[in-house]
Amino acid sequence: MAEPISLVDALSTTRAIRRYTDAPIPDADLNQIMWLATRAPSGSNRQGFRFVVLRDGPNAARARELISEGAKRAWGNKRVKDQYDSGSGKRVDSPKARMARTMDHFVEHMHEAPVIVLACVKIHRPQMLGVGGSVWPAVQNLLLAARALGYGGVITGFHGPREPELRELLHLPPPESVAIAATIPLGRPQGNHGPVRRRPMAELVYEDTWESPAPWASDPPGTRFTQAGPPRG
Amino acid sequence: MAEPISLVDALSTTRAIRRYTDAPIPDADLNQIMWLATRAPSGSNRQGFRFVVLRDGPNAARARELISEGAKRAWGNKRVKDQYDSGSGKRVDSPKARMARTMDHFVEHMHEAPVIVLACVKIHRPQMLGVGGSVWPAVQNLLLAARALGYGGVITGFHGPREPELRELLHLPPPESVAIAATIPLGRPQGNHGPVRRRPMAELVYEDTWESPAPWASDPPGTRFTQAGPPRG
């Protein structure tokens, strides 16, 4: 690591990282990543977030298999549903085809990531969007903290297809009391972080009324845009 | 602003800020805060987050009134439900009584904050915890970006009690297509950011099995803990 990354740079250049080197994440780094994740805000500061970290413990091998199966099934379904193999997806050099190849590689290998984190949350009220406010900020902190120490990861929902088996294996409380929000592989990136692509600000930030673009809002010169992006889970 | 804050420092010391000076947030700063918020990840990079910013536009005065009413009602209900006026809350110097005074002041004045942001999200699937993954990371980016520029804010649910009126006033799409995740006042802090308090790591981070503390996880020396924290909405 060269000098510490500034907050502003980190917020604008923390990418989804889907390829990792074989480098492990040392205990001290993992500790700092998880500690910073848990500094996030949560509803009434109840800290309902709970992280189950998979490395090489007794359950990890089987959990990694289940997540791998979930990944392949989730991506297989998405590939069909989002028509990755039709339209521009048929052209081998199209963004769609490239993303499909990235995802093929990702679901084949993500279970081998040095660390996989299940981000869970205690369900303290029936409104699940609100419950999410007690875990997703911590997930974002986790990804930014990983970035700060030279790692990267990506939010996935790959626990989904094999969630009952994972819950049983890892002794999670029942779904009505604890939810799994995300499955996040972490490792040293192959490739680099860098500017992310988003829609133009006028589509995302309104002033005073819905869909009324804020007059003071503009993307900095050189910003690159996207209308549709990579699947993440 | 002195030198830029490092990412690591920001993640561990960005507090809920509930008192603001009268200093406005200049357009350029607000633009950068919102731009950085929108760099956050979201489900399939769909960017379902949408931010409605209230300053002094034609709807802002009425929206601020509604939010103020919502704040007072939400805090009034919470005060009773969480028994702020009994037990240790009866002692004027207890943390509970101090938090009650902070909240009294907050709900009396938060509608006067220089900027209030409604963080909304397009509902792209029925599972609302997953939908939250497309807005809460951006909310956390927003709070961190505010911090980077010398501001602060706090996540609230103060739109809740007056949500139908707010939706009509601001022309929001119906609740089945767009949800309001949070109402966030922003301003220049009275007081300071600084280390946040959380539960000990052993309660929050597990390895390999639910409630199995990770052997490599420990709080840095000097960390201060909490078992229950301030209400935030």
CB A34 within 8 A of CB B201: yes
Kindly indicate the confidence band of residue A233, based on its pLDDT and cuts at 50, 70 and 90.
very low
Q: Is the pLDDT of residue A6 over 60?
A: yes
Q: Is the pLDDT of residue A193 over 70?
A: yes
Tokens at residue A52, please? Answer: 């189950």
Nearest to B219 among A35, A147, A199 (CB): A35
Residues of B whose CB is below 8 A from A8: 4, 32, 36, 145, 148
- Kindly report the CATH class assigned to A7-191: alpha beta
Q: Is the pLDDT of residue B98 over 60?
A: yes
**CA A38 – CA A140 distance, rounded (Å):** 10
Closest by Cα among B12, B6, B136 to A32: B12
Residues of B whose CB is below 8 A from A10: 7
Report domain extents, chain A. Answer: 7-191
* Residue B87 C-alpha, separation from nearest chain A C-alpha, in angstroms: 19
* Residue A138 C-alpha, separation from nearest chain B C-alpha, in angstroms: 8
* Residue A153 C-alpha, separation from nearest chain B C-alpha, in angstroms: 11
Tokens at residue B226, please? Answer: 């909490």
Tokens at residue B210, please? Answer: 């639910």
Q: Is the pLDDT of residue B2 over 90?
A: no
Structural element, H or E, at residue B214? none
Amino acid B228: pLDDT: 52
Across chain B, which distance is largest between two alpha carbons, in Å?
Answer: 56
CA of A10: which chain B residue's CA is closest? B7
Q: Any idea which residue has 């919470």 for tokens? A: B78
Residues of A whose CB is below 8 A from B130: 157, 181
Amino acid B201: pLDDT: 97
The tens digit of pLDDT for each residue in A66-112 reads 999 999 999 999 999 999 999 889 999 998 899 999 999 999 999 99
* Residue B33 C-alpha, separation from nearest chain A C-alpha, in angstroms: 9
Nearest to B133 among A47, A181, A228 (CB): A181
Q: Is the pLDDT of residue A226 over 90?
A: no
Residues of B whose CB is below 8 A from A12: 35-36, 39
Q: Is the pLDDT of residue A2 over 80?
A: no
The tens digit of pLDDT for each residue in A161-170 reads 999 999 999 9
**Residue A117: burial class (beta carbons within 10 Å; 0-12, 13-18, 19+):** buried
Kindly indicate the confidence band of residue B230, based on its pLDDT and cuts at 50, 70 and 90.
very low
Residues of B whose CB is below 8 A from A211: 171
Residues of A whose CB is below 8 A from B58: 208
Of A46-55, A81-90, A164-173, B161-170, the poorest mean pLDDT is in A81-90
Residues A4, B5: C-beta atoms closer than 8 Å: no
Amino acid A227: pLDDT: 57
Kindly indicate the confidence band of residue B12, based on its pLDDT and cuts at 50, 70 and 90.
very high
Question: Count of CB contacts below 8 A, A vs B?
Answer: 305
Q: Is the pLDDT of residue A23 over 50?
A: yes
Residues A208, B170: C-beta atoms closer than 8 Å: yes
Q: Angle at CA B229, nearest 5°, toward B225 and B233?
A: 155
Query: What is the topology classification, in CATH, of domain B7-192?
Result: NADH Oxidase (3.40.109)
Of A188-197, B163-172, B219-228, the poorest mean pLDDT is in B219-228
pTM: 0.96
Compute the mean pLDDT over every residue in chain A, rounded to the nearest whole number. 94
Amino acid A3: pLDDT: 73
Amino acid A4: pLDDT: 85
* Residue A73 C-alpha, separation from nearest chain B C-alpha, in angstroms: 16
Over residues A38-56, the mean pLDDT reads 97
* Residue A53 C-alpha, separation from nearest chain B C-alpha, in angstroms: 5
CB A34 within 8 A of CB A51: yes
**CA A225 – CA B179 distance, rounded (Å):** 25
CB B134 within 8 A of CB B124: yes
**Best mutation site among B156, B207, B211 for testing chain A: the one with the most A CBs within 10 Å?**
B207
Kindly indicate the confidence band of residue B155, based on its pLDDT and cuts at 50, 70 and 90.
very high
Q: What are phi and psi of A52, to 5 degrees?
A: -105, 115
Q: Angle at CA A129, nearest 5°, toward A72 and B117?
A: 120
Residues B209, A52: C-beta atoms closer than 8 Å: yes
The tens digit of pLDDT for each residue in A81-94 reads 999 999 889 999 99
Residues of A whose CB is below 8 A from B204: 34, 38, 47, 49-51
